């Protein structure tokens, strides 16, 4: 079974986090919600408290070895908090070096840009955050996949973003089937 890790920081965009978790779990892709805050209870950008599955400090090398994808939701100041987490940055770099999947939505693709991972790649993000896509060919598509990196624009594109994640971790048919089941674009 495919496995992903999604990282939660105080100030994350709740819909961007929960849509991915919900859709991946609907198709039996394992996804753990990981708090970078030192507390399992993480408060989103709209004051909604989410209980993470694990703390980043409790993850082992084996947890990362078993995961095929790291996912970053956007939101402010959540994106800045993700950017400033040294352990997360280290793991993002390791995933990229191994060619494992990295996915980010809204402002969070700027974390990848800040780490130099978007050089020469196509990417998208929340309108107005494009300067943070350092070195990228900046697109306005809802979802952009370039190699091992998947980026998306914001809360309104999260179903398509989750669908693209599923297509990469499972297959396109599974992605299309779940979107049909949730009555998306039919």
Angle ∠(6,130,96) on CA atoms, nearest 5: 40
What is residue 185's predicted lDDT score, i.e. its pLDDT? Answer: 72
pLDDT in tens, 9-48: 999 999 999 999 999 999 999 999 999 999 999 999 999 9
> Which pLDDT score is estimated for 23?
98
Q: How many domains in the chain?
A: 1
Span 97-108, average pLDDT: 98
Residue 147 in tokens: 């190699």
Q: What is the pLDDT of residues 43-102, one digit of tens each?
A: 999 999 999 999 999 999 999 999 999 999 999 999 999 999 999 999 999 999 999 999
Q: Which domain holds residue 18?
A: 3-179
184: in domain: no
Other beta carbons within 10 angstroms of residue 107's beta carbon come to 26
Q: Is residue 43 part of a domain?
A: yes
Indicate left, alpha or beta for 106 from its phi (over 0: left) and psi (-120 to 50: alpha): left
Q: How confident is the model at residue 186 (pLDDT cuts 50, 70, 90)?
A: low
Q: Residues 116, 119, 125, 130: is their CA dihedral positive or negative?
A: positive
Q: What angle do CA 23, 21, 121 make, to 5 degrees?
A: 90
- Does the pTM surpass 0.95? The reply is yes
At residue 68, the pLDDT reads 98
Does residue 12 lie within any of the structural domains?
A: yes
Instruction: Report if residue 8 sits inside a domain.
Output: yes
Give the residue numbers marked as catalytic: 106
Query: What pLDDT score does 88 carry?
Result: 98
Q: Where residue 167 falls among pLDDT bands split at 50, 70, 90?
A: very high
User: Is pLDDT of 163 > 70?
Assistant: yes
Answer yes or no: is pLDDT of 184 > 80.
no
**Structural domain includes residue 186:** no
What is the CATH classification number for the domain harbouring 162? 3.40.50.880
Annotate the chain with three-state secondary structure. CCEEEEEECCCCCHHHHHHHHHHHHHCCCEEEEEECCCCCEEECCCCCEEECCEEHHHCCHHHHHHCCEEEECCCCCHHHHHHCCHHHHHHHHHHHHCCCEEEEECCCHHHHHHCCCCCCCEECCCCCCHHHCCCCEECCCCEEEECCEEEECCHHHHHHHHHHHHHHHCCHHHHHHHHHHCCCCC
Contacts of 20 (CB under 8 A, 6+ apart): 6, 31, 71, 73, 103, 105, 158, 161, 162, 165
């Amino acid at each position: 079974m495919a496995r992903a890790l999604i990282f939660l920081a105080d100030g994350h965009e709740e819909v961007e986090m929960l849509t991915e978790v919900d859709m991946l779990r609907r198709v039996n892709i394992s996804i753990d919600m990981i708090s970078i805050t030192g507390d399992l209870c993480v408060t989103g950008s709209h004051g909604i408290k989410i209980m993470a599955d694990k703390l980043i400090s409790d993850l082992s090398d084996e947890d990362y070895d078993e995961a095929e994808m790291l996912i970053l939701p956007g939101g402010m100041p959540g994106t800045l908090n993700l950017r400033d987490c040294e352990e997360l940055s280290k793991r993002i770099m390791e995933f990229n070096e191994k060619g494992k999947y990295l996915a980010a939505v809204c402002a969070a693709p700027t974390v990848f840009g800040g780490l130099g991972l978007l050089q020469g790649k196509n990417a998208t993000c929340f309108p107005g955050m494009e300067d943070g896509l350092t070195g990228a060919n900046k697109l306005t598509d809802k979802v952009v996949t370039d190699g091992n990196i998947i980026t998306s624009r914001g809360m309104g594109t999260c179903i398509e973003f989750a669908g693209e994640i599923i297509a990469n971790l499972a297959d396109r048919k599974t992605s299309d089937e779940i979107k049909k089941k949730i009555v998306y674009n039919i």
